[in-house]
Structures are given as C-alpha cells and as structure tokens.
Structure 1
Amino acid sequence: MRPYRQIGSAILLLAGSAAAHAGTVTVYSALESDEIIVYLDAAKKALPDIDVRVLRLSSGDLAARLLAESAQPRNDAIWGMAVTDMLEPRIAALLTPVRGTHIGRMPSAFRAADGRWFAPTGFLAALCVNREALAERGLPMPRTWTDLASPRYRGQVAMPDPASSGTGYMLLSSLSDAGRDPKGMQVVLDIARNVGQVTLSGSAPCKLARIGEFPIGISFAFSAMQSIRQGYPVSMVIPEGAKGYELEASGLMTKASNPGDARRFLDWTASPEAAVLYRGYKEIVAAPGSVPSAEQQREGLPADLVATLPARDFATAARERAALIARYKRLTR
C-alpha cells in the first residue's frame, strides 16, 4: 500500500518516493481514497519511472482549490472530477486537449470533442431501500421516481443536498434536464417534500437507510451494492424511467509543469488494465467491451448499462448549476 498523509480535509496519496523530481506528476482528484490507493499501485507497476502524487479532495473543495490557484496552478492533471464541475467555464479554461492511445479508443460520449476531458468512469443514481424498515412502516417498494414523489413517503426519505453533493446535483440536473423540463422538475420538488433528512454527501443517505434510520436513501449504485455486500437488509432500486448519472472526468492542465508524464498517466487511466480495477468500485465503466460484473448484474445493473444511458447536456448542466440550485432552494423552502 502506498503512503498517504492528511492535509486538513484533504488526503495526499503518494506512489513512489515522496521527494519531488523530474518524473513527478501532481494530480488533484475527487475519487475516493481507498480506490485511489488501489489504482496507484497498478499505475506504479505500469509506469515505474513516474511518481504520482495525488491530492484527494471532495468535489466542492476541488473546484474551489482549482479556482483559487487558477493564476498559478500547482497540479499537472485532474483525475475523476464530476464533469459538470469540470465544465464550469473558469475550470474548463484551465485545461488543454489531452490525447492518447487508450483515450482515443473510448466511446465518443465519454470524451470531449475538443479533447479537454475524458471520463473512464461514472456513477448512477440509485435508491437504497431497507426492506425491514419499509415493511415496518407498511410502505410499498418504490420502482420509479414518480413513485418516490408520492405523499405516502412523506418524511421517509434521505437525500443529498444538491448544493454540497455531486450526487445531489446529478439527481436534480438529470431529472429536470438542467431545469428545462417542467414535469421532471416537479417530480424532483415532490420528492424533496418527502425528505426527512438532507445530507452533505451522496453516500450518507444510503448509510442512513442501511441502519434503518430512514427506509429509503437516494444515493448511487455502488453505495447500495456495498451495503448489500456487507449484509444489510438493503435492496438496490434503479428507478425506471429517467436515469440519473454523472461522469467522472479527467484532464490536463494547460500550465502543467510535467505535461509529458501527466499525459502518460492520464492515458493509463483509460486503459483496459485500469478498467478491470474500476469494476470493483464503479457502476459505469467506459472502456470498450466492459460490462457490469456478475455480482453487479445480480443486484440489478443491466448488462448493457452504458448503451442505455441517455445523452446528457453536461455543458448546460455545468453552466446552469448555480442558477438551478438557487431555484431549487427557493422552491423547497
């Protein structure tokens, strides 16, 4: 296992020597720390001449740091940031096109036409439903987002805050088409009226559901499958109809101090070898031919998940983020 150290709320993970030298690549990431360590071990074997230093931050903190350092960036690359965060115009302006053998083989829906970002992975909105808590309250299993909007679930749902959680904003922007679909927006608002607790992170609602604090937690698929694997009385529901999902994008900084090695590392993150590792943590893996594992399919992920994902206008979702969240907050007071 590679060393790491805490820096405030951030975590710095190191692959190789901690001393900076030619061949060192500094990466900012919003991926989870436990998965980063696994990926870095494999990256070090594939690229033994590169030391990868990863500063792990939450999505909001990562965006804030990039903006604070925009005049003089301290990182070479971004790895695994919600694409709706990365496409914020001030952050997108910090990126330069990045291309590579593996990146070029990814489906076009998972990379920008101008080469400024690519997304090897993503996450899918899902409900964590505690069967025992649901039965105690005499409630039926929700199957659609419209089901979840029914008044019968009033106070029985935990949901992440769109202002602080990438999962929360993914749900709001996906179901409402970035606020342009009135019917979808109304469904989101009706669901919000049923929420008994708003959480800061996307995994927290599932954690509340698995211990029975709430029968239903709006989260993402991996969190639900993790709860099932750990033996909690949880079922994962991928609501029928609109699929809420987000891509985890990566990109190269225009002012990277080591652009050559950063490109090599980024291209490795799009490789088939990396895709095998992603399957242990991700619902959406973009590598050609990659399908959900047998376990994931047993729990409800369709074998053709990537092919069934609807097109999303990520640029509009990024551009409208602040206005859409403000509108949502105003309407749910």
Structure 2
Amino acid sequence: MVSSIGKRRLLLVSLAIIVIAIIAVASYLFIIPYLLRPAPVRGSIVVYAAIHEFEVDRLLRMFTEETGIEAKYVRMSAGEIEAKLKAEAATGQIQADVVLGGPMINHESMKKAGLLYKWDQPPPNARDIPSQYHDPDNYWFGFYVGAIAFCINSDRLSKLGLPEPGGWEDLTKPEYKGQYAIADPRTSGTAYTVLATLLSLYPEDRAWSIASTIWKNAGAVPKAGAAPAQMCATGEYPIGIAFAHDILKLLMAGYKVKIVYPAEGTGWEIGGVAVVKGAPNLEAAKVFVNWVLGRKAGQLHTDLSMRLSTRGDVVPPPGTVPLSQINIVRDFKWRWAAENRDAILKTWESAVG
C-alpha cells in the first residue's frame, strides 16, 4: 500500500516529467528554430529606377519601414540605366544594387550584356506569379505589364482640323507632321518598345520606312517615355505615344485625353525588377526584389502607377484594359530586339539622321 507521502512524490515526479516534456516540445517547435533563424538583413541599397519618382519614393519608404533596410534611388529611363550600368561594369565601380522597372526588352538586353545577377532559385514571392512573366534563367522578374497606345487630345486635334489617328501608318501622313511626340529609343524603353513593335508588325524594309518617317516627322523626341503623354495632356501636342498606364494616370487626374490602341496591333511590356551583377549590397538587394514581388508592394505600385500587376491577387486599377482585350502583337520579337539592340539602334540612327 502506497503511503500519502509516496503518492505526493509520485505526483511531483509525474508533474516534473510533464513539465520537462512540455519544455522539450516547446524548444523543438519554437525556441530552437528562433535561435537558428537567419539574422535579419541590414544595411542599405541603391536602386536605379525606370518608374516615376513618386512611385519609387513611396515604394522605398514602405520597404524601409517594413525591413529596416535603407534605400536610395536614382531615376532614369530604362535605356539610360543600361548605359550607366555598362559604364560602371567597364570600370569595375558598380554603384547600384537593383534595377526597378523598365520593359523586358531592356532587362533581357542587360542580361545579355552580363549586367544582371543570376539567382539560383527564383525569390519566394515569384512563385505566386505565373512563370511567363519571369526570365526562365532567373535574371529578372516581372511585376507589371502594359501596352503601347496613342494619347489623344481631342480638343487640340479638333482645333487643328485633324481626325484621330487610328494606327501607325496614319502617323506617316503629311498632315500629322510635327503634331505628335514620341520618345528617343536610345534612352527610352517605351520608345524602343515602339521600334520593336514596328519591326515585328511589318517586313523589314516596310518597318524601317514607317519607323524613319514617324521619328523624322515627330514634333518632339524627348528622352523619357512618359513625356509624350504629358505633352499631349497639357496641349503642347495633340498626340503622344506612350504606355497606356501613363495616359490613364493623366486621364484619372482630370486631363481631357483618351487612349487609342493602334489598329494594326501594338507592342507590350513586362516590367521587370533585377539585382545588379556585382551589387555592393547583394543580400539586401535580394530582400528588396522579393519584397517588390509580394502582394502588398504589388498593390501599392498598382494603385500609384495604374499599371496592371503580374499578381492575380492585386486589384487592378479602374479603367484598365487587360492585355487579353487589346490587339497586341502576338508575334512580338522582343527577345530578338533585346539581343540585337545595339545594331537596331545604329540602323535607327542612320534612318532617322
């Protein structure tokens, strides 16, 4: 017969065993993983951004708030970013960690030039985005899409007695000479996308004939791809060629413009983000790329830019038209245009003069 003292001892031993077991399980489930977790990445990054300043500024501020990683940026057009990275790589003085924005043509061209970092595996958030929006070799990852369009200022056209142009070939007509703005394809990813569009739509000789006439007859050829839409909205020119989301932003801001997609077909982009090869702050740069590909950053960017996200769980902006409902160029030779960018631009310079 067990005495009352023995019973108490047995109870205490049992309780001790239970407590030890609970501690062991808790250690396995919580404490050990906590101690073994990777240390949070600290430091700072420099971003070369091809998206608008107010967009990148808001994105970087949120990124710093959520991660503690400081971020600075330099705003340039996509072509200017590529030229700057080439110059930095040539001297071995890499200053940037990330390229944010710009069409896939430019990202593919930078990949070909050895300017981008190759990931062993895609960032975790990239798994939530269809693979068609990413480089299959893991150099760049798409976070938005868009299509080229005409910005039309109907009031200005009416005063000039001009009908709305319906397509690319309309712009080659004498009556439109000097009445539209289109960016420089040497500096602007938007304009280079237009050039690649024409080279995809038409046989080579016809494409260069149309392209040379369009750029020769332009009233303005600014460096930045969004500038023609702004010139159209303010009435400086009745027509501007830009990405539709840049026109939509102006429309939503109250400017009296409309979006017209070229009847023959139009070019499109996957806007990319990539880590620069030789980035001074590699781990922090990788954190940023993964963060940009996430839902929260994707929604903020879409709300600011009116661009369509590559993520299915991001609510699209009002007034946007999905690519599936636009007459885009189906056989868009964008990889060819990326691989032959230098030669194509030399031909453009010779054709335009």
Find 1:198's aligned residue among 221, 224, 228: 221
Once the two structures are TM-superposed, the CA of residue 170 in structure 1 deviates from its matched residue by 1.2
TM-score (norm 2): 0.76
Corresponding residue for 2:28?
Answer: none
Alpha-carbon spacing, 1:257–1:195, altered in 2? closer, same or farther (3 Å) = closer
Corresponding residue for 1:11?
Answer: none
1:240, 1:170 → 2: CA distance? 17
Corresponding residue for 2:309?
Answer: 285
Alpha-carbon spacing, 1:140–1:81, altered in 2? closer, same or farther (3 Å) = closer
2:95 matches 1:74: yes
Aligned-residue CA RMSD (Å): 2.9
Whether contact under 8 Å (1:86, 1:92) holds in the other structure is: no
Deviates more, 1:56-65 or 1:231-240: 56-65
Corresponding residue for 2:74?
Answer: 55
| Partner amino acid, structure 2, of 1:268 | W
Find 2:242's aligned residue among 209, 219, 229: 219
Whether contact under 8 Å (1:123, 1:247) holds in the other structure is: yes
Q: Deviations over 1:201-260 (max 9, x none)?
A: 222222322233322111222332232233332112122332222333222234334433
Q: Which has the higher strand share?
A: 1
**Mapping of 1:1-333 within 5 angstroms?**
22-47=42-67, 49-70=68-89, 71-88=92-109, 92-98=113-119, 99-177=122-200, 181-280=204-303, 281-290=305-314, 292-294=316-318, 296-297=319-320, 301-302=321-322, 304=324, 310=330, 312-333=332-353
| Partner amino acid, structure 2, of 1:241 | E
TM-score (norm 1): 0.80
Whether contact under 8 Å (2:145, 2:271) holds in the other structure is: yes
Whether contact under 8 Å (2:117, 2:275) holds in the other structure is: yes
1:161, 1:290 → 2: CA distance? 32
- SS in structure 1 at match of 2:221: strand
2:71, 2:325 → 1: CA distance? 32
Say which one has the larger Rg. Answer: 2
| Partner amino acid, structure 1, of 2:272 | A
Corresponding residue for 1:9?
Answer: none
Q: Sequence identity, in percent?
A: 28
1:79, 1:233 → 2: CA distance? 30
Aligned residue pairs total: 308
Unaligned runs of 5+ in 2: 1-40
Deviates more, 1:304-313 or 1:154-163: 304-313
Whether contact under 8 Å (2:182, 2:218) holds in the other structure is: yes
1:240, 1:167 → 2: CA distance? 18
Once the two structures are TM-superposed, the CA of residue 308 in structure 1 deviates from its matched residue by 6.2
| Partner amino acid, structure 2, of 1:112 | D
Q: Which has the higher helix share?
A: 2
